Structure 1
Amino acid sequence: MPAGGEDPVISAERAHLTQSREFLRLMREHVLAINPMAGDPVSLEYLKADLYRRAESLKDIPDAPLFFGRLDYDEEGAFHIGRRHVHDQDGTPVVIDWRAPVSRPFYRASQADPMGIALRRRFGFSGAQLTAYEDEIFTATAGTGDGRVRSEEKKTSQLLIAEIERPRSGPMRDIVATIQPDQDDIVRGDASQTVCVQGAPGTGKTAVGLHRVAYLLYAHKEQVTRRGVIVVGPNLAFLSYIRNVLPALGELDVTQTTVTELVASVPARGADSDEAGRVKGDARMADVLRRALWAAIRLPADALVLPRGSRRWRVPANEIAELAGELRNRGVRYGAGRELLGHRIAHVILTRMEAAGETCDDRTHDAVRRSAPVRACVDQVWPKVDAKRLVFGLLSSAANLAAHADGLLSAAEQQAIVWPVPARGPGSARWSRADQVLIDEAADLIERTPSLAHVVVDEAQDLSPMECRAIGRRCATGSATVLGDIAQGTTPWAATSWPALLGHLGKPDAAVRELDVGYRVPRQILDYASQLLPSIAPGLRPAASLRQDPGSLTVESVPPAQYGRRLASVCASALDLPGSVAVICADAQAPEVAAALRAAGLDFAVLGAEPASGDARLVVVPVTLAKGLEFDHVVLGEPGRIAAGEAYGLRRLYVGLTRAVSRLTILHAEPVPAELCSVP
């Protein structure tokens, strides 16, 4: 594989890269030079916003290569494959977007199916500088030369491996240069289909989900942009970690949020016990809420009498009750039923008016529907209901909850969720996160929640059934990408099977795809962590790993008196190497770890707390916040404390062990859990 400026291929490719960046700059300047004009001020503002977003998407990212590969077709010529489309001043493409159909052979071509290409070239970069290339020849007509290797002779691209192994500091990066065929299948899946990805650590499931969003925004831009797309993550630390991936791919308008933010109609100031959270998250709560809501409908006390001119029009109470019962049996939303009841009553009165010889039209119908007697009748029979007050009424009153939960929740379950000290009103209640989800469910029973085009939900295995319902409502007429790992479930309500979770999401027919090849975590680390699978997820197969590094795993026993100094020493040595460094420990141990690092004079930050000054490469990560993150070097402190001191400790330990993508050092002064006694 050649390297250096003397090689003619590298010189030519560097020139093409420089030229491509110049054309990208000209494309952006062209957009900025447009003088927008529209027929009205509102349209003008929309046009200005569109032009601004277009200009932002065309910004060059200096340290991100504009292209990373090239395809030589037998007849159509050569195409450079990159993160976005770039064309010259005549409109001729100089870089093809990775999502375009012509780019697909870069990810899928093989000797068995060349897909029409003669050669696939991968580029190596140091920062933004093109430094190397590697060719795979697919036909006998493609010439050979320095740096060209036949794919049947070299099974795995060394540049691909180098890109996967490249140290990664800061937020997550895109994987457009290294997408594998099984990942590409998911990324380019049908926009109308929901897909569930079961992925072991390091298999790239999060990146696959984000790249699927980018692909849908390219291939189905009008539909997806019009109806919207969101990415739902487990916590704010995770969202901060993935925040740069989509902007690097030119997609700026994707909302990234947590379930808590998604359903937050009241502030969450309280916390539930595990048992209360489990009951509130159970799908049976949807039936309890439904019962409580529809119990608000009452029989009319008297007949409706509407004076109009010299006549008085009367609708008997039993007829009004029949109208209400018919609407309820139709399965309409509560709010829609209330609106329809007024129309139905008005229709009955107009029918009688017409039979008496009066002339009626739409204005007459509207006047009757809006009249005081009809509105008062609707308010009495089908009163307005507020979602917050509905949930408040259940949680603040044992008698009220019992009336609507009878046969659904046991007495013990009811007792677990009723507030021991009732609040004075919804505004003073100490709502929990699970309560927010209940309010969201009640709000949807009253008025339908609008559906988006697509929702990506990561770490989905930790969602409660009610949280799944909340997300499912937001893609009821769209699709979803569900990402997770059953082995990493760490909540009392964590899913034990994907079919059950997908049923709660409203997508029971979704395909479940398994990513079982790790691309980032070395085999030694993955094999060590997989010893926990028989205990935490007996039905899952251990994942394989593309990488093997005998020096990636160290398990070290330290005398208790020397633990803090040794921890700081290992961290200091790790900082001498490139990449990010994290100390993952039990939540209760984080202050002790921070004190040891501070005593050694190391610059660090504590995840979930105020960051240290400067850009600290070293971070202390409480294990409950580690999920979804990755670091080049992980120092895992006292696995025994994590296993014994955290809820679902072995699962959290599995998460902590699989955050390292280059090196894992396990330091312990206390015994290691028996499940991990074997070191590969």
Structure 2
Amino acid sequence: MSSDIKASEQQRMDNVVDKIKIAQEKYQKDISSAKQDSQAIRDDFSNNLRIKTESYSGIFETAMTVRQQQQLLQERENNWKQATRRLDVLAKLEKKPYFARIDFKEKGEHRESVYIGLGSFSDRPDNFLIYDWRAPISSVYYDGGLGNVAYETPDGTQTVDVLLKRQFLVENATIQTVFDTDEAVGDQMLLDVLDDSSDTKMKSIVTTIQKEQNQIIRETKAQLLFVQGAAGSGKTSAVLQRIAYLLYRFRGNLTSSQVILFSPNQLFNDYVDQVLPDLGEQNMIQMTYYQYAQRRLPKLKVETLQERFERIKSEEEKKIQSIKDSLRFFNATTVYGNFLERRGMRFKDIRFRGEVFFEKEHIEDIYYSFNENYHLRNRLEATKERLLKQLGRRVDKESKKEWVEKAVQESSPEELAKLYGDRARDFGDGDAELCFLARRYVTQQYRQIQRDIQHNRFLNINAQYVHFLTSAPELMNITDKQLLAKWQSGIENVIMMLKSKRMLMEDVSPYLYLYDLITGKRGELDIRHVFIDEIQDYTPYQLACLKTSFPRARFTVLGDLNQAIFTKKESYTLLEELSKLFPKDGIKVVQLTKSYRSTKQITDFTKQVLLSGASVEAFERKGELPRVQVFDEEDKMTEKVEQQLRENDKASFTTAIIGKTLAECQRLTLKLQEQGVKVTLIKTENQRLAAGNIVVPAFLAKGLEFDAVIMWDASAVNYHEEDERQLVYTICSRAMHRLDVIARTKLSPLFERVNKDSYQLD
């Protein structure tokens, strides 16, 4: 690119930065002004407010005054928030105003130039010096080359003739490189961005969005968007940009609190928590499925990620788990719920001071006394209403008894004041007063019973779930005697676990769904978008459960079905299961096959571990071959790790040593620390992602990336099962620039498919 063009572009950028600085000063003044106004309103409010309660009109006038003051304050605070948010965007634009320019012509119009950045900026109305990357016209930059390009606007599809596509690499408002391209995003820009070292926080990919990723970001019609992407294909980044795009596109109708992201673990949440704020948006709700389940079951201890990963299961137990994870089992739960409308509901006695107050048989009689038009939700509400009426009658009856009269007469002045409450003491006579106080006293004594009724504590959900499990084989026509015997012992295990207040993950979703059916829970209606990352580790039952829990939401699910380390799901079976939950014409599938995270050498090595790895395409970024080493003893392996860490540190690479289990990682960390090597062990998903070199178990490495990865003990003893192939792929595909695989005695047979030319064997 000629120096004249670069100088001319730099001059424009300098002018834009000057105007950004002027705007920053204006917003700074707006913030100060809004703060002063808020304080003045508060001072004025406390000085001038006179509470008038002598008449209805006085009360009304006071309420109106308070309301007006609140509205004024709200208005100033909104101004302050908007100015602060705008100031944050301008601070980012000052350092990097924009990263691209497109020149185009609309039919019959003059040539126009548009500059694209992280946010929009205009120096006067309708004079945009920078367009937000999410604006409709910006789509032209990502979606096509030169020539005619169509893009979607709120008014329909528009077509423009693209004459120039220019890209900038910018540091501190200084243009480092300018290049023109006919591609969506030039390889040079991608290479420069990808060659950066990894960090403990994911960065925005706005400057390097590819055409396929842009499809994901701007899709607004699908009820289910299914993104299948190879490791490092930018699917998670694209989905985070998608959230930012939706918040921009539907501003005023969608807020970040109406968007929920289910992520693989808490470490990952920590890793991605800066992406949206960097784009000028507030973070959405983020949680793992485990946190979602644990939040809804506070009295039970749900099986953790580590316990789930390390639990050893027999073949029969695997079969039972796959039944409980299936849509077939979900449908059986729904059928069982319908059956409960006629009979079979399990109840508990309602007790008062150790004595039975309402017997469970009595509650059952009430529950099934309503006609067949009553479904579970109405039946439960009607039962509660009847029980509360009966409680009221019991209060009347009990308040006439001598023990109550005695208790009232012996009450202290403080206790009596509580019984009177707000009631004016204008009783006609002493008997009426005593009657009132006695009734209040009994009502107070029975308050716990009232709460038990209102909170459905007479339902016996544990017994109900066990009864459902007992009925399930018949509902699903299971006749295999061996499987039925194992199913029965599985039920005994569930009973034992419930007694110790614990629950396995495969029981959590059916338990919650059954409770929701019985209580008629209608789901969280305010959530409009649900995002699920690492979809391959979700079961069809969990997905069906989430679909009923968020009935008004559109779903975006993404994952790499080559990394299904918990469910071992194949892509076609998962997609088939999902298609039963959504209308066929509401599903859109986007496949991302190109991997950008790793060098070509690492991608070519890792994809050969897979049986279906041919579909993974490496980006042309050169690096060294992965290295494989086999040692005869563990001490030599540890020495190799120490030496490799020193090499990686010299290259300024952050290294993750990834072991299979937590116990294995704990042993290695201890050995390294005894040798004076500085590493941080990541033990739980609730830990922060530490800077520097880390040791991490495989089940916590999902979704993360590191400059260098050392796979610890990739031996035949440690990794020999065929269904661990996806786990090995997950571990190796975390590496961006350097990969070392070390093993003891004999390398895992899962590497046998890898061509000997694809790695160095030391």
TM superposition score normalised by structure 1: 0.77
Deviation of 1:323 (Å): 7.1
Deviations 1:131-180 (A, max 9, x none): 413232xxxxxxxxxxxxx548x994412321132222111111000001
- Name the residue aligned to 1:373: none
Of the three residues 501, 508, 531, the one matched with 1:436 is 508
* 1:269 maps onto 2:301 in alignment: yes
Deviation of 1:230 (Å): 0.9
Deviation of 1:9 (Å): 3.4
| Long gaps (5+) in structure 1 | 137-149, 300-319, 329-333, 344-382
- Name the residue aligned to 1:589: 664
Greater CA drift, 287-296 or 38-47: 38-47
Query: Identical aligned pairs, as a percentage?
Result: 22
Q: 1:22 to 1:518 in 2, by over 3 A?
A: farther
Q: 1:541 to 1:5 in 2, by over 3 A?
A: closer
* 1:100 maps onto 2:135 in alignment: yes
Deviation of 1:336 (Å): 4.1
Deviations 1:191-225 (A, max 9, x none): 45421011011111111111111111111223332
Whole-Å Cα distance in 2 between the matches of residues 5 and 620 of structure 1?
Answer: 49
Of the three residues 576, 580, 603, the one matched with 1:526 is 603
Whole-Å Cα distance in 2 between the matches of residues 388 and 175 of structure 1?
Answer: 53
Letter of the 1:178 counterpart: T
Q: Which has the larger radius of gyration?
A: 2
Whole-Å Cα distance in 1 between the matches of residues 668 and 20 of structure 2?
Answer: 48
Deviation of 1:500 (Å): 2.7
Of the three residues 68, 82, 86, the one matched with 1:54 is 82
- Name the residue aligned to 1:449: 523
Of the three residues 551, 566, 587, the one matched with 2:624 is 551
* 1:13 maps onto 2:13 in alignment: yes
Greater CA drift, 640-649 or 107-116: 640-649
Deviation of 1:104 (Å): 1.5
Of the three residues 515, 533, 537, the one matched with 1:462 is 537
* 1:616 maps onto 2:691 in alignment: yes
* 1:635 maps onto 2:707 in alignment: no
Deviations 1:594-635 (A, max 9, x none): 134324433322223599999632111211111111112212
TM superposition score normalised by structure 2: 0.69
Aligned pairs for 1:10-89 (under 5 A) are 10-17=10-17, 19-20=19-20, 22-24=22-24, 26-27=26-27, 29-30=29-30, 33-34=33-34, 35=37, 39=67, 50-51=78-79, 53-55=81-83, 57-58=85-86, 59-60=88-89, 65-74=96-105, 75=110, 77-88=112-123
Letter of the 1:488 counterpart: Q
Letter of the 1:335 counterpart: R
Q: 8 Å contact 1:574–1:633 — kept in the other structure?
A: yes
Whole-Å Cα distance in 1 between the matches of residues 716 and 456 of structure 2?
Answer: 46
| Long gaps (5+) in structure 2 | 42-65, 150-159, 344-366, 386-452
Whole-Å Cα distance in 1 between the matches of residues 599 and 458 of structure 2?
Answer: 49
Q: 1:419 to 1:209 in 2, by over 3 A?
A: farther
Whole-Å Cα distance in 1 between the matches of residues 325 and 501 of structure 2?
Answer: 19
Letter of the 2:513 counterpart: E
Deviation of 1:244 (Å): 1.0
Q: 8 Å contact 2:224–2:588 — kept in the other structure?
A: yes
- Name the residue aligned to 1:111: 146
- Name the residue aligned to 1:312: none
Q: 8 Å contact 2:264–2:288 — kept in the other structure?
A: yes
Whole-Å Cα distance in 1 between the matches of residues 680 and 73 of structure 2?
Answer: 42
Whole-Å Cα distance in 1 between the matches of residues 145 and 513 of structure 2?
Answer: 49
Q: 8 Å contact 2:148–2:162 — kept in the other structure?
A: no
Whole-Å Cα distance in 1 between the matches of residues 516 and 69 of structure 2?
Answer: 35
Deviations 1:315-374 (A, max 9, x none): xxxxx989732344xxxxx2145558999xxxxxxxxxxxxxxxxxxxxxxxxxxxxxxx
- Name the residue aligned to 1:240: 270
Deviation of 1:48 (Å): 6.6
Of the three residues 499, 503, 519, the one matched with 2:575 is 499
- Name the residue aligned to 1:251: 281
Letter of the 2:523 counterpart: T
Whole-Å Cα distance in 2 between the matches of residues 165 and 511 of structure 1?
Answer: 32
Whole-Å Cα distance in 1 between the matches of residues 737 and 685 of structure 2?
Answer: 27
Q: 1:571 to 1:2 in 2, by over 3 A?
A: farther
Q: 1:42 to 1:191 in 2, by over 3 A?
A: farther
Q: 8 Å contact 1:585–1:621 — kept in the other structure?
A: yes
- Name the residue aligned to 1:355: none
Deviation of 1:296 (Å): 4.4
Of the three residues 361, 366, 373, the one matched with 1:326 is 373
Q: 8 Å contact 1:604–1:619 — kept in the other structure?
A: yes
Q: Secondary structure at the match of 1:325?
A: coil
Letter of the 1:325 counterpart: E
- Name the residue aligned to 1:490: 565
Q: Secondary structure at the match of 1:477?
A: coil
- Name the residue aligned to 1:414: 487
Deviation of 1:245 (Å): 0.9
Q: 8 Å contact 1:21–1:66 — kept in the other structure?
A: no
Whole-Å Cα distance in 2 between the matches of residues 663 and 641 of structure 1?
Answer: 23
Q: Secondary structure at the match of 1:88?
A: strand
Q: Secondary structure at the match of 2:243?
A: helix
Q: CA RMSD in A?
A: 4.1
* 1:602 maps onto 2:677 in alignment: yes
Q: 8 Å contact 1:463–1:493 — kept in the other structure?
A: no
Of the three residues 630, 651, 654, the one matched with 1:577 is 651
Greater percentage in helix: 2
Whole-Å Cα distance in 2 between the matches of residues 20 and 48 of structure 1?
Answer: 24
Deviations 1:551-574 (A, max 9, x none): 152333445342211211111221
Q: Secondary structure at the match of 2:206?
A: coil
Greater CA drift, 611-620 or 208-217: 611-620
Q: 1:16 to 1:227 in 2, by over 3 A?
A: closer
Q: 1:65 to 1:671 in 2, by over 3 A?
A: farther
Aligned pairs for 1:374-393 (under 5 A) are 386=456, 391-393=461-463
Aligned pairs for 1:218-233 (under 5 A) are 218-225=248-255, 228-233=258-263
Count of matched residue positions in the alignment of Structure 1 and Structure 2 = 599
- Name the residue aligned to 1:197: 227
Whole-Å Cα distance in 2 between the matches of residues 116 and 5 of structure 1?
Answer: 22
Q: 1:491 to 1:73 in 2, by over 3 A?
A: same
Q: 8 Å contact 2:711–2:741 — kept in the other structure?
A: yes
Q: 8 Å contact 1:31–1:54 — kept in the other structure?
A: no
Whole-Å Cα distance in 1 between the matches of residues 581 and 74 of structure 2?
Answer: 34
